[in-house]
Structure 1
Amino acid sequence: MPTTTRTVTWSGANARRIGRQGLATPVPASPTAVPDLAATMLGAHAQVLSAAELSLGLRIEGATRTDVRTALWQERSLVKTYGPRGTVHLLAAGDVPMWTGALSAVPGRVGQQGAGIRLTAEQTDAVVAAVGEALTGAQLTADELTEAVVARTGSWAGDLVMPAFQGMWPRWRQATHTAAHRGVLAFGPNRGRQVTYTNPGAAPMEEHAALTALVRRYLYAYGPATPQHFAKWLAAPRGWANDLFAELARSAVLEEVRFEGVGPAWVTAGDTEFPEPGDAARGVRLLPYFDAFGIASQPRELLFPGKASERALADGQAGNYPLLLVDGAVAGVWHQRRSGKRVAITVEPLGRLTAGQLEELERQALRIGGITEGHAELTVGTVTVGPHA
């Protein structure tokens, strides 16, 4: 293992992360700004698509939700699919081979379904092949895809055995994430209120090369970090992440540093320049639900100091509340409610804001109005809704 070369302060690491993600100064608008930003962030969480639109729009000068939708559905420079932690993300289309190669290599959890429900390895392979074939050049709803998979595999794939919401799903759907991680399934445009799926047509990168690329990109955006940080972000086994980082360190892909509040941690070899203490993050920012910065930045207790850990986390989990950032730390929560073109934004600071910070907050609210193509009205007061409301 390389010896420790330097100490990285929390303020330096935090300022570098904020700067690289367009949160200090939004990146200039350009034809590739949206997918480039999605690549830098390692995806925008899109279980609620409007949150992903805000995550990307806030980081690009003058961007709106239409720019994100255009990149996703018309230019196809973004792909909506299952990304890190098995959750829906907008990923840069050019990164899909890396993602599918890496996610396919992450050890899966065994036995999530009961013995009478669970797919065998052979059945999983058959379903994935059927999904890939059915979705090539097509956009199918879940029901249409079920018919296509059953026709190609057998009636067993359509057995209604999986409890889901208010009903039962067919057996094959437990392989949905696997199909996405093998690169044959992604989301298509909604057909009315119905979700559709399509085949993104991007062959996965070789597993080791994909994992190496993903670790390097993760450390560029969120380093320094430990294998445990990486494992938590990816929802991967800790032991597997330890082994991966050790191998990459032996190959001189990674370089060890001492990270304030953590101890030994890692950066990509040679990527050791950090802002000086006097260049700490400054300014006021509003981040939406499940924004990548709040999810991935560690150690969490430094990003969510004091009262923020109680108010802005839900059972220790980040992402369930939109975040107010003041000088690089979580300093409150906020909520928006839309009615027509009116976007009512309520911000609850955990401490007193200066006059200058209130002015910045007003500009952030107006920016959110611009991204959502509405008219923002700001109220500073108590947020009364619960997490992920």
Structure 2
Amino acid sequence: MIRLSWAQVCARRLERHALSTSARAQAGPEPDSAALAAVVSAMCGAHAQVASAAELSVGLRVPGATRSLVRRALWTDRALVKTRGARGTVHLLAAQDLPMWTGALSAMPVPPYEQGRDLLTPQQTDQVLAALADALADAELSTAELTEQVVARTGGWAGERVMDAFQDKWPRWIAAMGAATRAGVICFGPDRGRATTYTSPARWLPGFTPTTGPKALAEVVRRYLYAYGPATPAQLARWLSVPAPWATKLFESLDLTPVTVGDTRAWVAAGDTDFPAGRPSGLRLLPYFDAYAVGCHPRDQLFPGRAADRALARGQAGNYPVLLVDGTVAGVWHHRRSGRRIHVTVEPLRALGAARRRALQEQVERVGEVLEGVPSLTVGTVAVGPHA
């Protein structure tokens, strides 16, 4: 059995996330939407709960990319799509990956947090999905507009405000939103002022049809292991928010190669056993909910020592932007925008030598380029708490 060190695992993950020193040095041709989509696909999606964080996650991985290019890839070229991916979390996904993701998500156990099973019968859910597909076939509609369209196609019951929503109540039909996303019926459209809009994924990928469940699940696992492996079924279960026994059975059904990392048995996709000879290197700033910080395990290796206390929120990764040094978390950071000026504060958890300080300044300059502003750097305490 292949025995691996954490350093080998970390170095490979950095390369595959386009975060390694070698990846940064490869400027290549002028970036375009296809280059962004390729990086997003390799990451298994970029978390997009915070729009600027998603733009940074993608932009920082592609030399020369800016937030304008990310927005063009999403809303104009439609090489990216904004929808709900793993764990029901808002992601940017490569549009070409939509059939795989919808097929896989539809084949997974229904998340326990969904209210739809209590608020809608299976027949009502089917009616809502049909109404959404019809209303969104060639339109971008806000929630209020969708409510009118769904009620008109189904009945007054769909508009009853019975679904808990913070301090308010949402219309009943919204309980089917998760099912609609998994089925490939709905995705996000461009914001209209402060209003969120929704549309049909088929507008991003003409002729769109979800991949069959078993094939899609196998491909998602392969992609996950490519980006985050070696990994265990329990780690996949956490990443997808599915029961651990279900993930274990899924692993057992696939052609995977076991390896050991330290004393832990884990798996990679069959034949994907190449690992870099060198150690992980480089300094990077990763924004809120960056896929590398959220998806990589084990946590005690990725967030060693003080990093676990400072950069995790009740054990959860992603709630703080992190400073990555040689592939592991070595601090936190925050940026505040004021017009064109972007004030970046970085709190390292250990002293940075001269070379690291220069690399940090380069990263801050790159943050400014991606966000199309003028950056400044302060090294000191980050007073901002974790993002909800």
Give the TM-score normalised by structure 1: 0.95
Gaps of 5+ in 1: none
Per-residue deviation at 1:111?
7.8
Look up the match of 1:186.
Answer: 187
Look up the match of 1:362.
Answer: 361
Per-residue deviation at 1:200?
0.8
Could you report, residue by residue, the CA deviation over 1:28-57 in whole angstroms, capped at 9, with x for unpaired residues?
A: 444311100110001000011110000000
Structure 1 contact 111–118 (Cα < 8 Å) conserved: no
- Residue type matched to 2:318 in 1? G
Identify if the C-alpha distance between structure 1 residues 111 and 122 changes in structure 2 by more than 3 Å, giving closer, same or farther.
farther
Per-residue deviation at 1:343?
0.2
Per-residue deviation at 1:388?
1.3
Distance 1:37 1:73 in 2: 17
Identify if the C-alpha distance between structure 1 residues 342 and 30 changes in structure 2 by more than 3 Å, giving closer, same or farther.
closer
- Secondary structure of the residue that 2:266 maps to in structure 1? strand
Structure 1 contact 222–296 (Cα < 8 Å) conserved: yes
Could you report, residue by residue, the CA deviation over 1:84-135 in whole angstroms, capped at 9, with x for unpaired residues?
A: 11010000000000000000111014585498x5211221111111111110
Distance 1:267 1:119 in 2: 40
Distance 1:245 1:122 in 2: 33
Could you report, residue by residue, the CA deviation over 1:276-334 in whole angstroms, capped at 9, with x for unpaired residues?
A: 2xx11111110000000000001111000000000000000000000001111100000
The share of aligned pairs that are identical, in percent, is: 56
Per-residue deviation at 1:168?
1.0
| 1:69 maps to which of 65, 68, 71 | 71
Identify if the C-alpha distance between structure 1 residues 223 and 123 changes in structure 2 by more than 3 Å, giving closer, same or farther.
same
Could you report, residue by residue, the CA deviation over 1:319-356 in whole angstroms, capped at 9, with x for unpaired residues?
A: 00000011111000000000000000000001111111
Distance 2:6 2:267 in 1: 14
- Secondary structure of the residue that 1:218 maps to in structure 2? helix
- Residue type matched to 1:65 in 2? R
Could you report, residue by residue, the CA deviation over 1:65-87 in whole angstroms, capped at 9, with x for unpaired residues?
A: 00100000000000000011101
Which residues of 2 match residues 86-235 of structure 1 at below 5 A?
Answer: 86-109=88-111, 112-113=114-115, 118-201=119-202, 202-235=208-241
- Secondary structure of the residue that 1:184 maps to in structure 2? coil
Distance 1:322 1:121 in 2: 41
Distance 1:180 1:203 in 2: 13
Gaps of 5+ in 2: 203-207
- Secondary structure of the residue that 2:93 maps to in structure 1? strand
Identify if the C-alpha distance between structure 1 residues 160 and 362 changes in structure 2 by more than 3 Å, giving closer, same or farther.
same
Structure 2 contact 116–176 (Cα < 8 Å) conserved: no
Identify if the C-alpha distance between structure 1 residues 110 and 14 changes in structure 2 by more than 3 Å, giving closer, same or farther.
closer
- Residue type matched to 1:348 in 2? E
Distance 2:82 2:97 in 1: 12
Identify if the C-alpha distance between structure 1 residues 34 and 111 changes in structure 2 by more than 3 Å, giving closer, same or farther.
closer
Which residues of 2 match residues 45-84 of structure 1 at below 5 A?
Answer: 45-84=47-86
User: Within the alignment, does 1:8 sit opposite 2:4 as a pair?
Assistant: yes
Look up the match of 1:380.
Answer: 379
What is the root-mean-square deviation in Å for CA atoms of aligned residues? 1.4
Look up the match of 2:205.
Answer: none
- Residue type matched to 1:255 in 2? T
Distance 1:164 1:79 in 2: 25
Look up the match of 1:330.
Answer: 329
Could you report, residue by residue, the CA deviation over 1:219-249 in whole angstroms, capped at 9, with x for unpaired residues?
A: 011110011111101111111100000011x
Structure 1 contact 81–88 (Cα < 8 Å) conserved: yes
Could you report, residue by residue, the CA deviation over 1:170-226 in whole angstroms, capped at 9, with x for unpaired residues?
A: 011011111011001000011111110000112211000100110001101111001
Distance 2:140 2:326 in 1: 45
Give the TM-score normalised by structure 2: 0.95
Distance 1:153 1:145 in 2: 12
Look up the match of 1:239.
Answer: 245
Distance 1:54 1:111 in 2: 29
